[in-house]
């Protein structure tokens, strides 16, 4: 490659030098002896002396030759009598226009330049097609890449916490290694496997493990690689991809994020959608059409199975749908142990404790947790990573990074302390709430303070009493502000709490049938987003009267939670003051430390030797709250906004 580049470069350098030489040769006066520059007065003297043979006048430039053959050049002012004077002396005078000195070479070059440019472009494309295997015109070629054993080999030993999904895929690997074992009883290898699960659960990692274990050709491609601005390119790439698979059968083709090309047909939102549908139609035909694809196994991954076309999901195309969920506590422990292999751990590190304290974490979240703990220990110049670093890293991942450089006024700190104390106190005295894990008034992420409640175990479903307790907990911050500072001095710090409470109560009424008045009816279930591939004609299925009843029920449910929070804080107003003072003194309190402060006991806080910023710069505090998962989707692991 470098040799061809060097030869091409040398060729173009030689051509450029030849052009420069030709340009100089064809310039006016090219090849002639140089002309001597003389003063205008000397020129007049030579004319009067009869020593000038001929003169060429071009604007103000005067050149010519002497009687002895020497050439000269001078510059003349506006002298109208010069020509008459020269002719009187019998000197031959030639006049030229000022811009008329264009070489014939440049004239021909400008005339032929467009044609030469077209020829050059044509030659360039022909050479690219010959040397690059048609890359310049190969829009319709598949972009699938074959993985080799040297490219970051991953095995099933590197996959932990998703044993059921791993078992399903290990069976496919065994089929490829020993097909007779299954064919003896009439079994057929699955044509396709769809990996479904939330982001970060290990779908792509499972595919890489299959590539490392199967010992067959493994092609990988992204769903977006089929989409192109040229019509018909996507379908052509699908055909070429399966042609490569047939030539290398038995093999595995992995399509990551297949929802980019496999979305539901029929939305009809423009030409781009038609091109995507053509690509999907071609994929459906290739997966299970008239031609057989024996030995070509298609594995795809998506976190949006609800938007995939039903024809893509039927048996014969994707025979298996393997769900890859967030791991449970045992799975989280296994994943932590895998990621801790290369991390020097202190003796007090217990993966079981960390796993119990990270409900709702995905495999990617746990990998990030271990990495953050290692970075924190390195920043503190530790030799090993201790449990304290893992706890700090967990708080950073769940609640955001601390912003100790933010300067808050005493009034804002006091307001934040009572706000968070209100949340914490409602969580402690509401029996169906998750236990209090930590409360802080140190700004983290976009919040000025946070109260975090964690469940004692993995929570897979949510009772009505739990959700009502969650509503009470969200109202605790605003109620505490009203009780201490008065109704007219409340802040906008409860904006996130109000949004979360509205979302929880609305879903309880319209989706989960937890309203005694409206009953067990799903309202608005036919109003999916059009751009997710559903029909354009879908609309809301509720009347204006029902919508008003829903709004009234939402308000009534939030009002009851507000009244309950006010009852709790009024009964325990002394503990509210103690907890707020403890937050102002210690800034961060765990659940047990919060109870000690409420009992009036002193606590000992360990001094963290992390270097603090040399200067604290002032910044405008914000009361925006970090986004929280909607109820029913990892709600047990959600951090409570302050």
List, in sequence order, every residue forming a beta bridge with 73; answer none if it has no partner.
37, 63
Taking the C-alpha atoms of residue 60 and residue 75, their distance in angstroms, rounded to an integer, is 6
Catalytic positions, written as ranges: 420
Report how far apart, in Å, the C-alpha atoms of 558 and of each of 172, 464, 504, 507 are: 52, 14, 10, 13
- Helix intervals (H) in 341-463: 351-356, 363-379, 387-399, 410-429
Give dist(CA 389, CA 393) in Å, integer: 6
Choose among 459, 530, 513: nearest CA to 267. Answer: 530
Among the listed residues 412, 417, 394, 442, the one whose alpha carbon sits nearest the alpha carbon of residue 594? 417
Tokens in use for 61? 């430039």
* Sheet strand arrangement including 92-96: 36-37, 71-75, 61-66, 52-58, 92-96
Burial pattern 316-335, b for ≥16 Cβ within 10 A else e, equals ebbbbebebbbbeeebbbbb
Residue 639 annotated in ligand binding: no
Binding residue per annotation — 225?
no
Beta-carbon count within 10 A of 130 CB: 9
The residues that bridge with 451 in the sheet, in sequence order, are 439, 640
Q: Which residues, other chains included, contact 171 with Cβ-Cβ below 8 Å and sequence gap of 6+?
A: none
Q: Could you tell me which residues come within 8 angstroms of residue 68 by beta carbon, excluding any fewer than 6 positions away?
A: 51
Residue 384 marked as a ligand binder: no
Closest CA to 416 of 231, 612, 622: 622
Spatial strand order in the sheet of 251-256: 145-147, 218-222, 251-256, 296-302, 192-196, 320-323
Name the helix (H) or strand (E) containing 55: strand 52-58
Joined tokens for residue 286: 């290739």
Short-list 424, 422, 380, 372, CA closest to 401: 372
The residues near 428 (Cβ < 8 Å, ≥ 6 apart) are 436, 594, 595, 598
- Residues 170-175: contacts with CB under 8 Å, at least 24 apart: 170/213, 172/210, 172/214, 172/297, 173/210, 173/213, 173/214
Integer Cα distance of 565 and 337 in angstroms? 42
Among residues 524, 280, 180, the alpha carbon closest in space to that of 272 is found at: 280
- Is 199 known to sit in a ligand binding site? yes
Measured CA to CA, the distance from residue 312 to residue 283 in angstroms comes to 9
Q: Answer yes or no: is 434 a known binding residue.
A: no
Q: Residue-wise over 362-374: b if at least 16 C-beta within 10 A, else e?
A: bbebbbbbbebbb
Query: What strand order describes the sheet that includes 588-590?
Result: 588-590, 436-440, 450-453, 640-641
For residue 423, say whether it is annotated as part of any ligand binding site: yes
Q: Which residue has the tokens 């055909």?
A: 239
How many residues in the chain? 642
Name which of 398, 382, 390 is nearest 349 in CA terms. 390
| 202 annotated binding-site participant | yes
Residue 203 marked ligand-binding: yes
> What count of other Cβ atoms lies within 10 Å of the Cβ of residue 61?
14
Binding residues for Zn(2+): 419, 423, 497
Binding residues: 197-204, 419, 423, 497
- For the annotated binding site for ATP, the residues are 197-204
């Amino acid at each position: 490659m470098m040799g061809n580049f060097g030869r091409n470069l040398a060729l173009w350098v030689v051509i450029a030098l030849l052009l420069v030489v030709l340009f100089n040769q064809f310039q006016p006066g090219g090849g002639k002896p140089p002309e001597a520059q003389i003063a205008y007065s000397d020129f007049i003297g030579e004319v009067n002396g009869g020593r000038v043979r001929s003169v060429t006048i071009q604007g103000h430039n005067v050149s010519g030759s002497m009687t002895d053959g020497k050439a000269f050049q001078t510059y003349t002012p506006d002298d109208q009598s010069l020509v008459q004077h020269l002719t009187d002396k019998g000197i031959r005078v030639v006049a030229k226009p000022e811009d008329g000195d264009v070489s014939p070479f440049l004239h021909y070059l400008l005339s032929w330049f467009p044609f030469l440019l077209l020829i050059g472009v044509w030659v360039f494309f022909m050479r690219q097609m010959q040397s690059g295997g048609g890359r310049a015109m190969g829009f319709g070629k598949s972009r699938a890449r074959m993985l080799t054993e040297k490219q970051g080999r991953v095995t099933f030993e590197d996959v932990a916490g998703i044993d059921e999904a791993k078992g399903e895929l290990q069976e496919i690997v065994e089929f490829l290694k020993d097909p007779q074992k299954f064919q003896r009883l009439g079994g057929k290898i699955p044509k396709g496997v769809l990996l479904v699960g939330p982001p970060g659960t290990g779908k792509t990692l499972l595919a890489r493990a299959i590539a490392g274990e199967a010992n067959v050709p493994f092609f990988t491609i992204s769903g977006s690689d089929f989409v192109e601005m040229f019509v018909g390119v996507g379908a052509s790439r699908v055909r070429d991809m399966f042609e490569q698979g047939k030539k290398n059968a038995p093999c595995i083709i992995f399509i990551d994020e297949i929802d980019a090309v496999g979305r539901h047909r029929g939305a009809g939102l423009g030409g781009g959608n038609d091109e995507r549908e053509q690509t999907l139609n071609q994929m459906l035909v290739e997966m299970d059409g008239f031609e057989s694809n024996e030995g070509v196994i298609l594995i795809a991954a998506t976190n949006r199975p609800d938007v995939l076309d039903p024809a893509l999901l039927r048996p014969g195309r994707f025979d298996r749908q393997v769900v890859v969920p967030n791991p449970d506590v045992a799975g989280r422990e296994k994943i932590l142990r895998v990621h801790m292999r290369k991390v020097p751990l202190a003796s007090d590190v217990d993966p079981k404790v960390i796993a119990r304290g990270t409900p709702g974490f995905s495999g990617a979240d746990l990998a990030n947790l271990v990495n953050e703990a290692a970075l924190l220990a390195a920043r503190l110049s530790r030799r090993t990573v201790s449990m304290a670093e893992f706890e700090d890293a967990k708080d950073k991942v769940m609640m955001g990074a601390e912003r100790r450089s933010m300067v808050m006024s005493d009034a804002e700190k006091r307001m934040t302390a009572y706000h968070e104390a209100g949340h914490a106190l409602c969580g402690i005295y509401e029996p169906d709430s998750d236990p209090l894990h930590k409360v802080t008034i140190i700004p983290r992420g976009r919040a000025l303070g946070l109260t975090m409640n964690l469940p004692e175990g993995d929570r897979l479903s949510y009772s009505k009493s739990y959700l009502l307790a969650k509503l009470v907990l969200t109202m605790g911050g605003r109620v505490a502000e009203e009780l201490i500072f008065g109704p007219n001095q409340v802040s906008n710090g409860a904006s996130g709490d109000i949004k979360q409470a509205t979302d929880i109560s609305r879903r309880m009424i319209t989706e989960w049938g937890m309203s005694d008045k409206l009953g067990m009816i799903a309202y608005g279930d036919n109003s999916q987003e059009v751009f997710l591939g559903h029909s354009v004609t879908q609309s809301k299925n509720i009347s204006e009267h029902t919508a008003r009843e829903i709004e009234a029920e939402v308000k009534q449910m939030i009002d009851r939670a507000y009244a309950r929070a006010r009852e709790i804080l009024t009964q325990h107003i002394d503990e509210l003051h103690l907890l707020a003072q403890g937050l102002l003194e210690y800034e961060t309190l765990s659940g047990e430390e919060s109870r000690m402060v409420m009992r009036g006991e002193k606590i000992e806080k360990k001094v963290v030797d992390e270097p603090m910023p040399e200067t604290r710069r002032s910044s405008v505090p914000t009361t925006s709250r970090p986004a929280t998962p909607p109820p029913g989707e990892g709600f047990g692991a959600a951090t409570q906004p302050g």
